[in-house]
Structures are given as C-alpha cells and as structure tokens.
Structure 1
Amino acid sequence: MIADHVRVVGNEARAAIVSDRRITGLSAEVIAELVAEVGPLWHERHQARLESRPRKRAVGAGAKHQLVFIDQLLAALVHLRHGATHDVLACWFGVDRSTITGAVGEVRPLLAERGCTIAAGVRLRTLAEVIEHLGSSGRTGIDDGTEIRVRRPAAGRKDREKFISGKNKQNAVKAMILTDASGRLPFCSPTQPASCADITHPRQLGLVKHLTDGPPVEILADAGYQGLGAQTGGRVVTPPHRKFKKNPPEWYEEIYERQRKAHSSRRIRVEHGIAHLKNWRALARHHGRREHMSDTIQAVAGLLSHQQTATRTDRQAQ
C-alpha cells in the first residue's frame, strides 16, 4: 500500500498513457524496459544525494516524493514528446507545478546518459565508440548539424550575441547528428551556441582525431564541412567544390549538378534522422532554460534510437 502522501496517477490513466504510443512516442515494451533500467539508477542517485549533505535527522525522514517513479518517468516522456508545459502536466497528474519541475529535472539527465541503442543491450555513448562501431561493421556514417531555437538571453548578459545563428539570424543552439546509411541514430552531441560554425563543432568533439587514429570509416557531410576531408585523409566526403564561380561552361554545370545530387542522395538519411528528432516537440522550439538543452536532445536521441531498435527487432522476428 502506497503512503497517503504519495500521489499516483489512477491505474486507468496510467494504462492509457502507456498503451497509446501517440502520447509518449514509445511502445509499452520500451517503457517497461525504461522503468526496469532507469528506476534503480534514480533511486541510487536519490539516496546518494540524501546521504551526501549535512543532516539533522535520519536519511529518509522529511518530505517524500509526491509522485512514484513511474509517474515521474511518464511526466518526463510526455514533456519531451509534446513539449507540454509543467503547468499542464501538474493539472494532469494532480500535483503542484514544482513537483513536475523536480521530476523532469531528475529523470531527464538519466535518460540523456543512456546513449543511443543500436542493438538489444548495445549502447553507444561517445563519438569514439560510434567511429569504432562504424569501422567494425563496415558502415558509412552521415554527419550533419541541426539548430533548435531558444529564448534570447537577457539584455546586458555577457556573450549575449553568441546564440545568434549566422544562418537563420535567430537565437538558437546547435547539435551534431550522426546516423548510419540506413538512418539509425548512433550519436547526438551536446549542444553549442548557434554562432559556432558547422566545421568547428566536429573539430571540438574530436572527430578529426577519431577518424585519423581509428578504423577506416567514410563519413558523408555537406558543404559546411569542406576542409575536414583534407584533415582526415579523405575520410570525410563533402560535395565537390565549384571550380568555375563565373561563366562556367555548360558541360561543367551538368557534371557538377550530377555529382552534387548524387552526394545529396547518399546523405538524405541524416535529414530523415533529424526530422524524427524534431517530431519530439521539446526540440521544435525550446522555451525552457538553455542549460538543459544538451540533456534534452540527448535524452530524445536515446529514446528515439531505443524505439527504432525495438521496432526493427520486432519486424525481423515476424
């Protein structure tokens, strides 16, 4: 029997959330796996936090969580999937807004740390692991950046202009997305302010070093990454440079367009991967704190890759 001060969503409401994939974006089987995996980590971290601070009473005394873990997880999933505000979720779950804020704040980092699932029980968390996986499996990687609009920093704040995107002239953050040739999502980087150039971000993440020191891997990228090919011995493949900027011969234009379209056709899978990420409304336009964006996009990437792997496994079993 759950204590009276612990608030739980009714069994019917919880069953409706879990059973309808449109609400969380995840199947009931994947949610069950999340509960079994993340629940013990959440409890362990919560206990460590209680034991680490100076105390005047025993560990476990004082106010308790108003939501059991599964309801905290469901609240975080609905928030990430639909971008629902904490006020709306508080009304739905019958608790105070601060309770939802605390629940999402505790669950989101745990989801972000899981990494991307590429097979049952196999996760990739770092760029080095992704390059190693692509090399060992003989797969081609596809690299691209994506921007997510965020709130403008307050007037007078230091480095206020660094969030302005040179491409869209809007306040945003940028993340690097890497998929394989089949569109699976093995890596999503932490975010950077949008003023960071496309080519600078992978350099900061160590892509050049991983490619030159690691196994032979082909990475397809767009024109924003031109220059990495020379640094990686041709392992980063970008569209061809335009040799004639003025009055090009007709034969050259035809060849150039053919090469450019062929490269774009090979890269299209990464655009699909980014589109699937943006279907999670928390990434369409972020209205919360910019400091949470890295955890948010990496949590969504991990959840999306987990569901994609589970769906692919089910289809193969059939």
Structure 2
Amino acid sequence: MLAKRRVTGLSTRVVAELVAEVGPAWQARQHAKLTDRPRRRSPGAGAKYKLVFVDRLLVTLVHLRHATTHDVLAAWFGVDRSTITRAVNEIRPLLAERCCRIESGVRLRTVADVIAYLDHVRQTGLMDATEIRVRRPTKRRAGRHQFISGKSRCNAMKALVITDAQGRLLFCGATCRGSTADITQARQAGVVDWLAHTWGVEILTDAGYQGLGAQTAGQVITPTQKHHKKAVERMQGIAELRAAQRKAHNQRRVRVEHGSGHLKNWRSLTRHLGRREILDHTLRAVAGLLSDHQHTDRPTPSPIAALPAGRTR
C-alpha cells in the first residue's frame, strides 16, 4: 500500500521520512500521556494497540488524500470506527506541526519565518487567499451569515497561501471566516507588521490586496488598476499599456494559483466535512506533506530519453 502513490499521494521516500520523523514524536507523546498522572497499573499494562504506528500514519494519509470516511477505513483495517478516529486525531496534529519545508530542510511555521526567508534569499513571494467549503453552521448559531463568502456565495473558510516564484508552498494557514476580505486577512496574519522590518522583500498579489503597497513601502505589488472608460478614450494607448502590465503581472503571479490547486487535489480540502475548528490543522498538515513532495529528489531523464523522437545519438 505504501509503495502505491495513488493511495497516499506521496512517494515511498517521503513516507519513509515521515515514519522516521513523526514516529519518535508520536511515541514520546504517548509515553507522556501515560506518565503525566498517578496510575494504579504500570505504563503499558492493559489492552494493546490494534493499529501500529505505520498503520495509523497510513490511515491519516488516506483520510487526508481521499477524504475517506472513518467507517470505510475501519472496515479496511478490520478495527472499530473509534480506533480510526483516535488514530487520525493523534497523527494529524503531528503532521500539522511540521509545516512547509524549503530546500535546506528547514521548516517555515509562521508568516514571520516566511518573510525572513524571502528577505534572506532575495526571492519574490506570491500571496493569495483560497476558499474551502465547510458545513453550514446551525440555524441558531450567532454570526451564521459571516461564513458566507461574498465571492462564491457558499459557506466557506478562507486560508492564506504564500509560495515562492516557482509555486512551491512556503505557508498555508491563518484561516478565517469566508466573509473576511483578503486584505483584512493579510493584516490580521501580520503580513504588514513583519514587512515593516524588511526592505528587500517583493510579494506579488492580486487586486484584492490593493492598498497594502502603500502600507509596506511598495513591497506588496498589486496589478495596475483599470481606467474609467471615458478616461481611456481621452488618453490613446493607455488602455493597451495597462492591459500589458496586468498581463505581465498575472503571468508572474499565476503560480500561486497552481499551488492552491495542488492543495485542492487533496480531497479533504476540496470540501471540508469535519469540524471547522480542525481545518487549520488539516491545512497545515496537507501543506507540509505537499512541500515534502515538491522538494523530493526526482531521477533525471537519461540523455537518450531526452533526445527527440527518431534520434538515438
């Protein structure tokens, strides 16, 4: 099962690194849970786990990748549904703590880490917000309308996504309600505050972040605004110039859209059917797994395979 990428969405190498990294952390947390209170029996007594750690990790990966229900996973592994629920609730926070990975193997866990990294390597960052559909709040819940997105007109929550110029994930999180504006979410996440301590960072965004450029001394770059139709008629050539500028900006920024699309390939983020409180953990866990996949060394094609058809030398 672990060797088939269709099951987990990850290569065998990435899964092996997960077992070596998350396994000791899970064992230490379980040991601390057994020893943090007075006991009448020694730790380890009583019923044994029906799922070993590797099975628990596999259950969580399949659940995140395919949004498989706990009932189906329980029938697959021959255990009770509650066992699957406990396994997912134990492994998912450990995966969320890993966050996004960069080339050197360092993990970026906060917006401050991402901005410091971009300032250090002098690379351009791409920022956007993505919406994830969630369950409709109950009828008697206060502020029920605040989850309705003004863009998609459905109940959703919004996540902040930051990638590098190649579209590789650097951060995914800072979730908020779907009615929150993109620029408000960026301010609440601390993007403006942390950019005030840097001068050489360049972040490309869409038109939803108009106004952040003035607050960040031009470090946040938004597309050129459109002129009014009557003003365009008076200024010949301005409309074509501005359209070319917006096209060039969108061509540089489109990779963050691809990064959001790769996140949505994991079915648990296509539509989140669980509790809204755990969506942030799910986002960070999937982002960390996807960044591991993006930075996995892939075999280079052989010189013969790289030649055009009909040529062997």
The letter for the 1-side match of 2:80 is D
The letter for the 2-side match of 1:281 is R
Spell out the pairing of 1:65-104 with structure 2 (5 A cutoff).
65-104=49-88
Q: Choose from 268, 288, 306 the match for 1:282.
A: 268
* 2:147–2:155 Cα contact (<8 Å) kept: yes
Q: 1:155 and 2:139 equivalent?
A: yes
Q: What do residues 147-172 of structure 1 show as CA deviations (whole Å, max 9, x unaligned)?
A: 00000011101222221111111111
Per the alignment, residue 126 of structure 1 pairs with 110
| Deviation, structure 1 residue 127 | 1.2
Per the alignment, residue 59 of structure 1 pairs with 43
Q: Specify the SS of the correspondent of 2:89.
A: helix
Q: 1:297 and 2:280 equivalent?
A: no
Q: Specify the SS of the correspondent of 1:266.
A: helix
Query: CA RMSD, aligned part only?
Result: 1.8
Per the alignment, residue 178 of structure 1 pairs with 162
Task: Sort the Cα spacing of 1:62 and 1:317 in 2 relative to 1 into closer, same or farther, 3 A.
Answer: farther
* 1:75–1:100 Cα contact (<8 Å) kept: yes
* 1:132–1:215 Cα contact (<8 Å) kept: no
Q: What do residues 237-275 of structure 1 show as CA deviations (whole Å, max 9, x unaligned)?
A: 001122325563253322221111111001011011111
> 4+ residue stretches of structure 1 with deviation over 4 A?
314-318
Tell me how far apart the structure 2 counterparts of residues 27 and 216 of structure 1 sit (CA, whole Å).
36
Tell me how far apart the structure 1 counterparts of residues 147 and 47 of structure 2 sit (CA, whole Å).
39
Query: Given the two structures, how large is their TM-score scaled by the length of structure 2?
Result: 0.91
Tell me how far apart the structure 1 counterparts of residues 31 and 157 of structure 2 sit (CA, whole Å).
34
| Deviation, structure 1 residue 215 | 4.8
| Deviation, structure 1 residue 316 | 10
* 1:76–1:103 Cα contact (<8 Å) kept: yes
Task: Sort the Cα spacing of 1:166 and 1:53 in 2 relative to 1 into closer, same or farther, 3 A.
Answer: farther
The letter for the 2-side match of 1:266 is R
Please identify, of 63-72 and 105-114, the stretch whose mean Cα deviation from structure 2 is larger.
63-72
Tell me how far apart the structure 1 counterparts of residues 109 and 88 of structure 2 sit (CA, whole Å).
21
Q: Choose from 253, 257, 261 the match for 1:271.
A: 257
Tell me how far apart the structure 2 counterparts of residues 252 and 55 of structure 1 sit (CA, whole Å).
77
* 1:131–1:215 Cα contact (<8 Å) kept: no
Amino-acid identity (%): 59
| Deviation, structure 1 residue 47 | 1.6
| Deviation, structure 1 residue 52 | 2.4
Tell me how far apart the structure 2 counterparts of residues 140 and 278 of structure 1 sit (CA, whole Å).
23
Please, which runs of 5 or more residues in structure 2 have no aligned partner? 304-313
Tell me how far apart the structure 2 counterparts of residues 60 and 215 of structure 1 sit (CA, whole Å).
55
Query: Given the two structures, how large is their TM-score scaled by the length of structure 1?
Result: 0.90
* 1:120–1:309 Cα contact (<8 Å) kept: no
Q: Choose from 169, 175, 183 the match for 1:199.
A: 183
* 2:227–2:239 Cα contact (<8 Å) kept: no
Tell me how far apart the structure 1 counterparts of residues 37 and 149 of structure 2 sit (CA, whole Å).
41
Please, which runs of 5 or more residues in structure 1 have no aligned partner? 1-16
